[in-house]
Amino acid sequence: MVYLIFLAAMLIDLDHLLARPIFDPNRCSINFHPLHSYYAIAVYAGMLFFTKTRILGLGLLIHILADIADCWMM
């Protein structure tokens, strides 16, 4: 279960790899990457309502929260 959460959080990181440069400490990833848009976040939140996708949605939301925290620290 923890592995699935970890996997989901890693999958969304592929989004970061598509960006150039891959890592920019001065960039907020929220709304910059397609998988980090408010629309995508709404989909992840919706996944929490279904037993089959709940763990995956949780992992994705944890990743988004970590990225949001990064934005706040800038």
Q: Which is nearer to Zn ion, 35 or 55 (CB)?
A: 35
Residue 67 binds to Zn ion (criterion: CB under 5 A): yes
Minimal CA–CA distance to 40: which of 26, 51, 29? Answer: 29
Q: Smallest distance, Å, CB 51 to Zn ion?
A: 25
* Closest chain position to Zn ion (CB): 67
Site for Zn ion in 22-51 (CB under 5 A): 29
* CA dist., res. 70 & res. 19, Å (int): 17
Q: Smallest distance, Å, CB 37 to Zn ion?
A: 11
